Amino acid sequence: MKLQRFAEKWEDEPNVHVSPSIPVIVMLTDRTIVIDVPPPLRQPTPPPPPPPEPFWEAPCASARELAAGIVQWMDFCPSDNANTIAQAVLTPLGNISNGQCRASRAAIHFSV
């Protein structure tokens, strides 16, 4: 950090120009020191985080559609476990949110 020292009387240095980027130290006659330091550059505040995704959401398929898919798959492969049936029933629904997937899987597991 670069400091500039000036005379105690400003009249002794009439052509002094101080840059705002350079800190200035001023010596007063009563031996107190005044330091003029420019404030640090303010950092931009980051945007707030997005709201959390809901844990449970209504499934995009109706209960009737989910039940029909479960029954069809259980008729086709009765020995499959609940995870396999849930995967088979939810795959045709396409891209669904995590909350919808959780709710649908819970309903399928309960049904199986």
pLDDT at 92: 86
pLDDT at 28: 53
Instruction: Please list the rounded mean pLDDT of every run of 10 residues in the chain (112 residues).
Output: 50 52 57 65 86 87 86 86 88 87 88 80
Q: Phi and psi of 38, rounded to 5°?
A: -65, 145
Question: Distances in Å between the alpha carbon of 1 and those of 4, 8, 99?
Answer: 10, 22, 54
pLDDT at 31: 57
- The three-state (H, E, C) secondary structure of 13-29, written as one string: CCCCCCCCCCCEEEECC
